Structure 1
Amino acid sequence: MLRRRTILTRLLSSPSTSPIASLHRLLSAAAPAVSPNPSFAVEDYLVGTCGLTRAQALKASTKLSHLKSPTNPDAVLAFLAGLSLSSADVASVVAKDPQLLCANVEKTLAPVVAGLAGHGLAQAEIARFVSLGRSISRCRSVVSNLPYYVSLFGSVENLFRFLKKSSGLLGCSLEKVVKPNVVFLRKCGLGDCDISKLFLSTPRLLAANPEHVQTMVASAQGLGVPPGSAMFKRMLQAVTFVSEEKIAAKLEYLKNMFRWSDAQVRIAVCRAPMLLTKSRESLQSRSKFLISDVGLAPAYIAQRSVMLSYSLEGRIRPRYYVLKFLKEKGLVPRDRDYYNVLSISEKVFMEKFICPHKEAAPKLAQDYAAACRGKMPTRFRFT
């Protein structure tokens, strides 16, 4: 539930402290006339008054060619100042949404801000909404839909994180698009926390056509990951907005690159859905190293396909050579499993495979650190 605050409500309603009153005083002192100003140049105004760079101003001015006077932009800037937006914030929001300068303060901006305050948002939180730009500050649905979105994402902060990635959400129909998608995903076994995380990682999914979301769920199921399973959310992320043809092509590529059978490629993808998002170049380099250099069997890799998500330069290759060196020196058993060494955290790896061998291999830590930075010697000896 949103906490109740009335700071901005009082700010907007009090004639002595409201930003509207302040802007009226500014206008009466600085711009009493509303007639066209023949000397007004939009681009210069954006640079000199709004703080945009010349390149930003040139781009933004194309959307403001109809402006003939600074009167309304001055009013908007005064309103933004009343919300305590910094000069940098103002420049940023105007660059994102130049037409904000054309908004009617009293009829458009003030009611939205007052509505947000009425839902309990503090002035700083409202300023953050406005600073996101892209018409957010002029979208009346922000006010009416805010309680639902805060409940969905769990907090105002999470909602901000989402809107930074996809402010277009606020232009979507809550009843026809957003709610049906949420309800459908709940039926697929996802809890509200999982749904929130899914939308934060894949923002476009929330505002997608409900039929398309159902198609993506069907794709995940077709790859062998049923709704409600532990890997379902990750598979859904991997197939979001990817056509069936592209998925089929990636599966075929994986089969050929790792010498997998149909059954093995499905095992690999189900255990590591991110394989569907990896570039062909990154997969090829991992295949070459793990199969040709390390000598791992395709079936071994398929069963442990998560290893393909690790960095080749920063993890896969350096740890392999550490393990190889330790085995050659008799410092670890020769049957020590490579994947178990690869999958542990960096802290645990250092504690188990680097620190205990300072005396026997004094240069091990130094060479390992160099290898992780990409300085892999032709012959990795750690001596």
Structure 2
Amino acid sequence: MIFSIFKSQVFIRNGSVILPTCAKNSAFSVSKKLHFETSQQPDTVISFLNNHGFSRTQIRDIVQKWPASLLCNPEKTLLPKLQFFYSKRISGSQLIRILSSNPDAFRRSLDNCIIPNFNSFKEFTRCGDDQVFLAYKNYSDVLSRNFQSIVAPNIAILKEYGVPESNIMVELVVHPRAYAVSPDKFSRTVEQVKKMGFNPSKRRFLTALQAFLQTSKSTWEKKFDLLNQWGWSNEVVLSAFEKYPRFMMFSEKKITTIMNFFVHTMGWKSLDIANRPVILSYSLERRIIPRCSVLQALLSKGLIKKFSVCLVLEYTEKAFLQRFITPYEDPYILKLYEQKLGLSE
């Protein structure tokens, strides 16, 4: 029998799943071998997921992350979870997308784990059903552990420092992982952020806290070394961190590619970026290159004389089109923008 859920085919031979060479580095390959007498049970699971809107790629992702899914009874194991989430009015497309990327909820007990933890998190954060599911997307333990008992001491610490409860609850939904650490470590880190001068009443305080909690010491040091190579002193790095603390959570690859573009292609000084580190948050392919290409074209045509790249990058897509594309009615400018966005085809 052949399963066609993988880019290369997966065979059953003598009752065992045989993986193609290209799949041997996946999570699927490091699991224990799965044995089947026939392909009937795996086919039933795959057919069930397909009938509930999961694409071939999404089914493959589920199987790679949870190989034992091919052994389950979908009507008893998978269907009740889907029905529960649908009862919470979570959109089908969002549900499918999140469960395929993080199928942990499928293997948990609905009555003993998912429902009580779902309700507990909702009560604790006073958020809506869709926001609970968003938190699960960001951290699967939201539905597998008693999250309230884990984070309650840390929330109390933040309140003692004067962090507004409204800010805490928003961050708890979007970045729940940062709050599931030991109270001792959490308390030390909060104090560290406070000493750096971050104002507890501002959202930036919690962003800086997250950066410290979710970035290891070795990774932090590598980021400093990388930025030192671009001419940023340690003081400049810290100054940029104070302006926009989230950038220290970006990968070294992202930082390097954006620095390369602005310094080597646009001719900026690296310290220009240190003054506006939010630039490092933008997508090079979807925002920076397309917009800079349009600005350079407008400049070469004499249609504009002066502009702030930083300000232009901060525009929404609608605002950018209204300001730099639509008024000029220039087919070349529009085509250039679409080409850089990869929309021309």
* TM-score under structure 2 length normalisation: 0.66
Tell me the residue number matched to 1:162. 135
Tell me the residue number matched to 2:307. 336
Q: Does 1:52 align with 2:45?
A: yes
Q: Does 1:281 align with 2:250?
A: no
Tell me the residue number matched to 2:336. 367
Q: Find the residue that maps to 1:190 and give its secondary structure.
A: coil
Tell me the residue number matched to 1:8. none
Tell me the residue number matched to 1:229. 202
Per-residue CA deviation, residues 282-335 of structure 1 (Å, 9 max, x unaligned), is: 2222112211221222332211111111111222122222222222222112x3
Q: Does the aligned pair in 2 maintain the 1:224–1:266 contact within 8 Å?
A: no
Distance 1:46 1:163, change over 3 A: farther
Return the index of the structure with the highest Cα Rg: 1
Match 2:233 to one of 261, 265, 268:
261
How far apart are 1:373 and its partner, in Å?
1.8
Per-residue CA deviation, residues 188-217 of structure 1 (Å, 9 max, x unaligned), is: 333333222222222223332222222332
What is the CA–CA distance in structure 2 between the aligned matches of 1:134 and 1:267, rounded to whole Å? Answer: 45
Q: Find the residue that maps to 2:279 and give its secondary structure.
A: helix
Gaps of 5+ in 1: 1-41, 65-72, 81-86, 94-120, 376-383
Q: Does the aligned pair in 2 maintain the 1:152–1:192 contact within 8 Å?
A: no
Distance 1:337 1:136, change over 3 A: same
How far apart are 1:155 and its partner, in Å?
2.7
Q: Find the residue that maps to 1:324 and give its secondary structure.
A: helix
Q: Does the aligned pair in 1 maintain the 2:125–2:172 contact within 8 Å?
A: no
What is the CA–CA distance in structure 1 between the aligned matches of 2:69 and 2:317, rounded to whole Å? Answer: 51
Q: Find the residue that maps to 2:228 and give its secondary structure.
A: helix
Gaps of 5+ in 2: 1-34, 48-59, 96-103
Tell me the residue number matched to 1:31. none
What is the CA–CA distance in structure 2 between the aligned matches of 1:234 and 1:171, rounded to whole Å? Answer: 25
Q: Does the aligned pair in 2 maintain the 1:186–1:192 contact within 8 Å?
A: yes
What is the CA–CA distance in structure 2 between the aligned matches of 1:183 and 1:307, rounded to whole Å? Answer: 34
Match 2:291 to one of 319, 324, 330:
319
Q: Find the residue that maps to 1:260 and give its secondary structure.
A: coil
What is the CA–CA distance in structure 1 between the aligned matches of 2:201 and 2:195, rounded to whole Å? Answer: 14
Q: Does the aligned pair in 2 maintain the 1:166–1:204 contact within 8 Å?
A: yes
Tell me the residue number matched to 2:327. 356
Tell me the residue number matched to 1:19. none
Match 1:303 to one of 243, 264, 275:
275
What is the CA–CA distance in structure 2 between the aligned matches of 1:158 and 1:298, rounded to whole Å? Answer: 39
What is the CA–CA distance in structure 2 between the aligned matches of 1:265 and 1:214, rounded to whole Å? Answer: 24
Q: Does the aligned pair in 1 maintain the 2:117–2:145 contact within 8 Å?
A: no
Q: Does the aligned pair in 1 maintain the 2:163–2:201 contact within 8 Å?
A: yes
Match 1:187 to one of 157, 160, 164:
160
Counterparts of 1:106-117 in structure 2 under 5 Å?
none
Per-residue CA deviation, residues 134-179 of structure 1 (Å, 9 max, x unaligned), is: 4443437965994674242423332233345545346656675321
How far apart are 1:89 and its partner, in Å?
2.0
Match 1:204 to one of 160, 166, 177:
177
Q: Find the residue that maps to 1:161 and give its secondary structure.
A: helix
Q: Does the aligned pair in 1 maintain the 2:117–2:147 contact within 8 Å?
A: no
What is the CA–CA distance in structure 2 between the aligned matches of 1:136 and 1:166, rounded to whole Å? Answer: 17
Tell me the residue number matched to 2:87. 124
How far apart are 1:365 and its partner, in Å?
0.6
What is the CA–CA distance in structure 2 between the aligned matches of 1:282 and 1:348, rounded to whole Å? Answer: 25
Percent identity at matched positions? 23
Match 2:186 to one of 205, 209, 213:
213
Tell me the residue number matched to 1:292. 264
The higher-RCO structure (CA 8 Å, 6+ apart) is: 1
